[in-house]
Amino acid sequence: MSLASGAVDIIEDSAEAGGKSERSFSVRVPASTSNLGAGFDSFSLALQLYLTVSARVIPEASEICRVTSSGEGSTSGLLSRTEDNLIFRAMSFAAAREGWTLPPVQLDVHNELPLGRGLGSSAAAIVAGLTLSSLICDQKLSPATVLRYALEMEGHADNVAAAYHGGWIVSCVKTDGNVLAVKRPWPEDLKVIVVSPDALLKTTETRSALPATVERDDAVHNLQRVALFGAAVEGGDYDLLWDAMQDRMHQPYRQSLVPGLAEALATKPQPGLVGVALSGSGPSVIALALDHLPEIGEAIANSFRSRGMPATVRLLEVDREGQKTMVARAG
């Protein structure tokens, strides 16, 4: 068995593998960071930490969902062992919207994503659930429909677009509620460091910290830097990224939520470091760098540790493929 992109090809290639009750389906979805500084609710980048979920139909079951889980947050609500599990809720959401009958399922979950750290754990769970729903029900969901449903569940499109497509994504929500997502090249030499303090933040909490309106000067500031970021990345002008990642729309309002976060975001330039930003809504901080990655990670982590907040440093590669599915006989 090999992983392959696209649920439709997997189902068609495996049409002779038996009925759906004899098959198991697996999906692997990457972590993601979003915003990348000034690109609020627009920029996102998939990272090589993965949520892997296997699903199979439970014949004649009295329960609608059974879950086993391992890895990060295996006892949390996101990965709960009941139908409250976000993955199963996404499966049910797609089935209800499409008019499918979702049979009772067994979900086996392994999660590498730290929960509530601004690395797209809920987006990964939603993308996994939507994808598995179509597989289990022997149906198809177009990429546009997956992103539309994921947006409705998640409330913002950036992380779900990166989780689904992989790579660096520029996205927006149209007036009709559909999502436009464009995948752009991400340079091999531009590396990602993620520093996660030992604090959990819910996106609902961090969004409530934001003002209802922004000053025009702040909006112009961010618009200029979003354009500069794209030009800097695609042109290889990395010396521009320090200025391009300066934000006025969300980071100033979130940096007081965790001890040491303001200091981490105020990290000074040092060899190899080209930019620092909040990862999504936080509390993780991302740094873009060319070299000296361990030293940069420790310097940022020490901003948290000096305030009594433990922190974990991860040196992560960019995931360029997005969600991947496979099908196999249940053994």
Tokens of 27: 């999906």
pLDDT 10s digits, 116-127: 899 999 999 999
Residue pointed to by tokens 């993955």: 87
Read off the tokens for 312. 């974990």
pTM of the model: 0.90
Give the pLDDT band (50/70/90) at residue 5: very low
Phi, psi of 157, deg, nearest 5: -100, -15
- Residue of 7, 31, 11 lying closest to 23 (CA atoms): 11
The domains found in the chain, sorted by start residue, are 7-180+318-329 (3.30.230.10), 191-316 (3.30.70.890)
Residue-wise pLDDT tens digits, 68-106: 999 987 655 566 666 779 999 999 999 999 999 999 999
Task: Give the contacts of 223 (CB within 8 A, at least 6 positions apart).
Answer: none
| Residues contacting 202, CB < 8 A, separation 6+ | 116
Give the tens place of pLDDT for each residue, 34-46.
Answer: 999 999 999 999 9
Q: What is the pLDDT of residues 145-186, one digit of tens each?
A: 999 999 999 999 999 999 999 999 999 999 999 999 999 999
Nearest Cα to Cα of residue 330 among 41, 128, 135, 89: 135
Report strand pairing: 65-71 vs 105-111: parallel
Mean pLDDT, all residues of the chain: 90
CA distance 202 to 209: 11
Euclidean distance between CA atoms 319 and 40, whole angstroms: 21
